[in-house]
Chains A and B, each alone.
Chain A
Amino acid sequence: MPVIKSMEELEKIRKQAKDMINLRVDNETKTRIVVGMGTCGIAAGARPVMLAILDELKKRNITNVIVTETGCIGLCQYEPLVDVIQPDHPKVTYVNMNPEKAREIVVKHIINNQVVDEYVVPNI
């Protein structure tokens, strides 16, 4: 079984990751990305969207962002939904997400600080 080897690897990861922690900022100053994970969200493809966001953040070595979840907010027809909440900014809700669009939001909104207007929830 490769299990023992894996646990050794986890110990190595711990040592590497430990050095990163000190650089982290407080939770209040962090940006939050919230993925809709109700039944509607999951059925519409929220899981690959969330995994794409995590992957893009990892690739770009962004550690000051919290990725979290919420339930159904009643906009099921627009799922998968992704909220970006930055401190001192109004919340931005993106609709009809897919993994590619989600990656785009990480690059444009999180890194370049530009809201991607075309994916923002329409006024209803």
Chain B
Amino acid sequence: MRELSLHILDVVQNSLGAKASVIEINIEENIKKDLLIIEIKDNGSGMDEKMTKKVMDPFFTTRTTRKVGLGIPLFVHAAKSCGGDFKIQSEKGKGTAIEASFVLSHIDRAPIGSMADTMVSLVAMRPDVDFVYRHCVGDQVFILDTQEIKKTLQEVPLNNPMVLDWIKRFIEDNLKEINGGA
């Protein structure tokens, strides 16, 4: 995957598959520590300890259509090849949390890419699910919470084309802002 935002889109599919109703995506760019942390938490069905260990294995998948599952292994590889680490925590019935860290300035670190595109794709496909996307750069924070947007929209669906357009612009503008308006 060329962008970390594509890994995020991919890993969130696991949460959707686990029937999560709230999915949190946290991105922290810590320039002082030269660290990038991506965290994805869901309240889906979770996994037991045995299965949690297995998901890092490319030859494990819950699917029956084919024998490999590369989503998590690819993400782990992306983190580890940039001096980072990967952690996964899960509890049956409660949900799953993953955390991938990267050395921010590592030459092999893929760019974060378009988080606006990733979020718009997710919201368009699954307006029923609540997404909380939090992005920190240094001490600047931006939060997109679809629960709040839904409150403002009332009966208008989240996947209305005009609303999707607004979400895209909202994310792009705010990311520019927290990146110092560049």
Chain A residues engaging chain B, CB cutoff 8 angstroms: 1-3, 6-7, 9-11, 13-14, 16-18, 20-21, 35, 37-40, 42-43, 47-48, 50-51, 54, 57-58, 67-69, 71-74, 76
Contact = CB atoms under 8 A, between A and B. Distances in A.
Interface in B157-182: 157, 159-166, 169-170, 173-174, 177
B63 A20 contact: no
Interface core residue of B16, B69, B161 (most chain A CB under 10 Å): B161
A5 B180 CA distance: 19
Contacts of A39: 10, 13, 69-71, 74
A42 B125 contact: no
Given A10-B153, A47-B6, 7 more contacts: A1-B177, A3-B174, A37-B10, A39-B70, A42-B6, A43-B10, A76-B66
A38 B74 CA distance: 13
B117 A51 contact: yes
B174 A68 contact: no
Interface of B: 1, 6, 9-10, 13, 16-17, 63, 65-66, 69-71, 74, 117-118, 120-121, 124-126, 149, 152-157, 159-166, 169-170, 173-174, 177
Contact of B161 (A9, A43, A58, A72): A58
Contacts of A38: 10, 13, 71
A94 to B, nearest CB: 17
Given A2-B173, A3-B174, A11 B152 contact: yes
Contacts, number: 105
Q: Most B CB atoms within 10 A — which of A42, A73, A76?
A: A42
Contacts of A72: 63, 65-66
Contact of A54 (B16, B124, B169): B124
B166 A17 contact: no
Contact of A18 (B155, B164, B173, B174): B155
A104 to B, nearest CB: 19
A21 B156 contact: yes
Nearest to B11: A39
Contacts of A54: 120, 124, 161, 164
A39 B173 CA distance: 29
A54 B162 CA distance: 11
Contact of B155 (A6, A10, A21, A48): A21
Given A2-B177, A72-B63, A13 B166 contact: yes
